[in-house]
Structure 1
């Protein structure tokens, strides 16, 4: 009897251009891509007085009007999604600090997940910023972003 193959999903940092954000200051979130269309988004929402962590499932990810690309930072087995969420909930959410943003939370989450070998060891803030800038350029030039390159049609 052949062994069953274990599903492994890519983990991305994705950037979104939500209302109040610009291409220069996009919202960042961690995303687990289940397919080209289905994704789990882990993010911090709100404002300086009421930031909060949220996980949501999106069924139309590649068609998102606010998605501006991303970069792959790791991989996770399908049966470890609950563990991932638990570790992300351990990443502090800071309020009352005007310098603290969704980007701050993502950078801290990356460092925390590296302790568990969920995020590649070479990933750091500079790497993420460089990759996001490259993918944003691809998006502006109507080229395939990380989602399309990860799950081509």
Structure 2
């Protein structure tokens, strides 16, 4: 009888360890995922503002990234247009679960908001490639290009 109880507890213990290992590897995989483009990695929103006369006056980029770990976004970002770098200071915010996103209910929501330098806007209009880089405080760097549809959208917005 005692031997049977020991075996049951050993079985439960092993099962919990296996579940824990799979859970940790799943969350690590999500937090360290790879992608071909910025919009494939996270949600992005690029908006421009114009004067009353229709002249372009600025552009902002907002990024939402969801992850299981507690790493926070750093307040810095870099925009690359055909290799030219535009360093920027960003506003960041982390919202722990639960929050409004139903698709990412158990993940931390990280939001980065940056105003692009006005001098970068003509470079975006002419660029063949645009990359965006941002950082997490755990040492992880995300550096991804815009895909072709996003690049064309950005170019139309800065006209």
Structure number with greater Rg is 2
TM-score, normalised to structure 1, is 0.31
Q: How does the TM-score come out when normalised to structure 2? A: 0.31
Structure with larger RCO (C-alpha < 8 A, sep 6+): 1
